[in-house]
């Protein structure tokens, strides 16, 4: 079920002497918390075959983010930027949710006090939810409550640079020439990917929901993010300032490791099914 090309192979879980105690401690914290926020980044999808942004196998190892993920880059060379997004749409479109997505989907469907906030634009949390609920055993209300708060938009939606119209779009992108790039059906202006680039404001309502969830949470479980990009990386700090704790799952140390009460080093697809109480 999970596709995992060689170039995104993850290191195995590190067998530190105290890793069992850390798992127990994290399980206890998650099990007793009245409200939990799960914040995910690209690492949660790595075992599905989606390249992360940074690091040795990162999407941007040959390009700086500023070259492609800014409004200025799109204005200067829309063809190049659409080429990159077209490539990613194709690649991500062939990926399947992994065991981490599945564990999170079950937990959010089962437990109304767990909210998911994701930085990911790949749609794999949503797909895992859809599949977990496909037998009809969850009411529509549980499904909509379990939907992730998507901070950075979607790879499978476009936004018109003229009239602002948003459309679902899973099509391959024709990057032959500037004239062949996706155009708005209503006003014929150039379409852009409906994602949040550097220097752009996040949707204020979406950000507000994420902030409220972070402040209300007794535990913020942070999974697979380098915690370098703000305001997403500040959300766990809000949980802490409000009296809650941070638990981290990542294959590497991050700036949040120091802040976390428990930091578990290992791949999300192995750790989360053992950690989450469903
Ligand atoms: C695994 C694993 C496995 C691997 N299991 N783990 C405050 C301080 C400093 C700067 C700023 C600030 N506030 C705002 C800024 C500016 C800027 C910013 O943060 N810059 C920093 C880089 C310095 N932020 C913004 O511009 C944001 N806008 C904003 O704040 O507006 C107001 C404002 C404007 C102007 C000035 C000031 C304020 C917008 C940010 C938008 C980010 N957009 C992107 C692209 C989205 C579209 C697309 O996909 O193309 O979002 S950038 C990219 O980074 C993407 C990601 O969502 C985001 C985070 O990356 P993530 O998910 O953490 O991935 P990686 O690759 O970095 O990390 C993967 C991790 O997984 C690693 O740790 C691995 O170890 C781990 N891992 N395998 C578990 N199997
Ligand atoms: Zn338009």
pLDDT, one tens digit per residue, over 45-63 is 999 999 998 877 666 657 7
Across the range 191-207, mean pLDDT stands at: 98
CB 191 within 8 A of CB 160: yes
CA 154 to centroid of ligand 1, rounded, Å? 14
Q: Beta strands 191-195 and 153-160: pairing type?
A: antiparallel
DSSP state of 231: T
The pTM for the full model equals 0.93
In three-state secondary structure terms, 117 is strand
Residue 277 sits at φ, ψ, to 5 deg, of -80, 70
Q: Give tens-digit pLDDT for 4-30.
A: 333 333 444 444 558 899 999 999 999
Q: What pLDDT, on the 0 to 100 scale, is given for residue 19? A: 87
- Give the active site residues: 152
Instruction: Determine which residue's CA is closest to atom 62 belonging to ligand 1.
Output: 41
Q: Looking at ligand 1, which atom is closest to the CA of residue 225?
A: 63
Instruction: Determine which residue's CA is closest to atom 2 belonging to ligand 1.
Output: 43
State the Cα–Cα distance between residues 195 and 157, nearest whole angstrom: 8
pLDDT above 80 for 148: yes
């Amino acid at each position: 079920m999970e596709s995992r090309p060689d170039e995104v192979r993850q290191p195995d879980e590190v067998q530190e002497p105290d890793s069992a105690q850390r798992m127990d401690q994290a399980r206890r914290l998650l099990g007793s918390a009245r409200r939990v926020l799960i914040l995910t980044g690209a690492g949660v999808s790595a075992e599905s075959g989606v390249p992360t942004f940074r690091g040795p196998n990162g999407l941007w190892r040959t390009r700086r983010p500023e070259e492609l993920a800014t409004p200025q880059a799109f204005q200067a060379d829309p063809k190049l930027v659409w080429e990159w997004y077209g490539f990613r749409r194709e690649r991500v479109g062939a990926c399947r949710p992994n065991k981490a997505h599945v564990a999170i989907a079950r937990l959010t469907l089962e437990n109304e006090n767990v909210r998911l906030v994701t930085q990911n634009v790949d749609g794999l949390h949503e797909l895992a939810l859809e599949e977990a609920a496909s037998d009809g055993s969850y009411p529509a209300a549980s499904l909509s409550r379990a939907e992730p708060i998507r901070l950075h938009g979607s790879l499978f939606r476009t936004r018109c640079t003229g009239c602002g119209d948003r459309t679902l779009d899973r099509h391959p992108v024709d990057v032959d020439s500037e004239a062949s790039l996706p155009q708005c059906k209503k006003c014929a202006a150039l379409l852009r990917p409906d994602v949040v680039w550097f220097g752009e404001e996040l949707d204020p309502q979406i950000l507000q929901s994420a902030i409220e969830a972070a402040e209300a949470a007794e535990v913020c479980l942070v999974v697979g993010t380098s915690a370098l990009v703000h305001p997403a990386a500040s959300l766990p700090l809000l949980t802490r300032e409000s009296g809650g704790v941070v638990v981290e799952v990542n294959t590497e140390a991050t700036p949040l490791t120091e802040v976390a009460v428990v930091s578990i080093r290992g791949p999300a697809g192995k750790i989360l099914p053992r950690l989450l109480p469903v």
